Structure 1
Amino acid sequence: MLYWAAVFLIIAVVAAVFGFGGVASTAGGIAQVLFFIFLVLFVVSIVVGLFRGRRPPL
């Protein structure tokens, strides 16, 4: 789950770079929403992983 949260966070950041730069205002709004949703999912995944007590694979 942490892997997918990280993947979608990176996708949201890339979308944010294109959207926040003024390419399209609609894309910017969508990118902002996706960025914050996946940022929250990423943090939740980290917290859940810490509480499970397992180390992430290297």
Structure 2
Amino acid sequence: MDGLFDKAKEKIQEFAGSNSDKVGEGVDKAAQFADEKTGGKHGDQINQGADKLKEHFNGGDQQQQ
């Protein structure tokens, strides 16, 4: 499943460059989709990952890019 999240992160990075205002919305939709596909079994982990992604794209990890 890590590869899936890595690919999603790459796509979000590409998109974020010119659409930063929509990144959070997209991350939330992706998290909801993943939660539905796993039957809600991993909701907490999915939400934690979504929160970290949103922090990253909102400037939380700018120095690491």
- The TM-score bracket by the shorter chain reads 0.3 to 0.5
Question: Taking CA–CA contacts closer than 8 Å with sequence separation of 6 or more, which of the two structures ends up with the larger relative contact order?
Answer: 1
TM-score, length of structure 2 as denominator length: 0.39
TM-score, length of structure 1 as denominator length: 0.42
